[in-house]
Amino acid sequence: MSPFLLSLKLAAWTTLLLVPASLFIGRWLARGQGAVKPWVESLIYLPLVLPPTVIGYYLLRVLSPNSASGEFLSWLTGQSLVFTFPGLVIASLIVNLPFAIQPIQLAFSNLPEQLREAAWVSGLSTVKTWWHIELPLIWPGILASATLVFAHTLGEFGVVLLVGGNIEGTTRTVSIAIYDSVQSFDMTTAGLYSLILLIVSLLSLLIVRINSHSRIAPASAPASPTASATETDRW
């Protein structure tokens, strides 16, 4: 598999696994209270300030079959996760946590509390309120989350190199291919891959900026939750 296709595969898996989980985590961070919340937020956003090589080092220690956790994971999965594609996915999930959760947390925080109150008064359960009222309103945050995670995964280098190594067809992503091409003075290949990542990054930022101008409907009219309650009675 070519480095670019491998990066696309890694980005797709990371996005598909992380964004749905971020819906629950982001909502809890936006609405939850308690002494543990600041600690959880700090851990989630730690990859934003921690060097990727440091994250890669600790992941390498955790996933190594020489450690208790790595030995358990090897027994659970039937293989060592170091220098494998599944190990890359785990590393990518951790590194991309803040990029996935922050837009969704912000979107949930911007939802007026009156919407939920109107939905509950109309007879909607918490699950139906989340599914029929909240999710349709936070779709710009979901799209921004998926876009940022996908683009950031394509360009990740430090963690990928430490956890996955540089195995052709298995863990050699496009960012590592750029590094190898420069090391071997193959500037044509390095330039091509760099241009692709530049275009993807630019388009991703453009999508996020366009979505940042999206606005949710005002909460002054509780007719929408009532209508939703009527539509969902059959549920």
183-208 confidence digits (pLDDT tens)? 999 999 999 999 999 998 899 888 88
Amino acid 222: pLDDT: 42
The pLDDT, as a whole number, for residue 230 is: 42
CATH homologous superfamily of domain 3-227?
MetI-like (1.10.3720.10)
Question: Domains of the chain: which residue ranges?
Answer: 3-227
**Contact status, residue 94 vs residue 200, Cβ threshold 8 Å:** no
82 within 8 A of 108, measured Cβ to Cβ: no
Global pTM reads: 0.83
- Rounded distance, CA 31 to CA 5, Å? 39
The token duo for 35 is 């002494």
Q: Taking the alpha carbons of 113, 124, 19, 31 in that order, is the dihedral positive or negative?
A: positive
Q: What is the reported pLDDT for 214?
A: 57
Q: What confidence score (pLDDT) does residue 227 get?
A: 42
Contact 146, 154 (CB under 8 A): no
The pLDDT, as a whole number, for residue 33 is 79
Residue ranges, the chain, pLDDT below 70: 213-235
| Residue of 121, 144, 181, 112 lying closest to 23 (CA atoms) | 144
Which residues fall within 8 angstroms of residue 7, CB to CB, at 6 or more apart? Answer: 153, 154, 173, 174, 175
